[in-house]
Amino acid sequence: MVAFSSLALGLSAIAGAFAAPTADVPDFELSSNQSLVRRQDYNQNYKTNGNVNFSPTNNGYSVSFSNAGDFVVGKGWKTGTTRKINFSGSTSATAGTVLVSVYGWTTNPLIEYYVQEYTSNGAGSAQGTKVGTVTCDGSVYDIWKHQQINQPSISGTTNFWQYISNRQSKRPGSGTVTTKCHFDAWKALGMNLGTHNYQTLSTEGWGNAGGKSAYTVSAS
């Protein structure tokens, strides 16, 4: 596979690439400290060849994989926004390229975006041109911009931009991503988002990837 993860992610436009969102899910639930958190309503489930065992739950997911040619699985929301996303869990990688990201799409303009929290090779989807840095939630991220030409997307095979915040200090475990911090930094660099489509915390792998992930996900 070419080293563009969007080649997999963009295939969400193909029927069956993602499981149907859970129906009739209440907007909020009580967390362990009795505060209201917004529930997830979208399971991301794209897999090609190899062994990928994805198990979504009502508040997260787990996945184990080996010899995986290409996959993206995760948990999130049918509609993205400037939510603060909290995740707790772990990822281990034994082969290939593996990453854990807050991931989503917008339309008008068509943008594929990542906030990469963990990358097994240090780069993940970060390609193209590095255009700046931003400090969000106490961590420094490198900002990348890359144009995909005639590639699959949620709007079919077309041209689109990737916006990527790549965390300098990788964390395969727990954390918080304040999406507004990244969105504002991108906007200040002329990297504007459009109307939000889905938004997830996802594990991705390609290149005969091996490893496992398990996370709970919430938003505040």
Catalytic annotation, pick one of 41, 70, 112, 117 = 112
State the DSSP code for 25: -
Q: Which of 41, 70, 117, 204 is catalytic?
A: 204
DSSP secondary structure letters along 142-210: EEEEEEEEEE--BTBSEEEEEEEEEESS--SS-EEEEHHHHHHHHHHTT----EEEEEEEEEEEEEEEE
Q: Is 29 a catalytic residue?
A: no
Active site residue 117: no
Please, is 26 exposed, middle or buried when counting C-beta atoms within 10 Å of its C-beta (0-12, 13-18, 19+)? exposed
Across the strands, what pairs with 118? 100
Catalytic positions, please? 112, 204
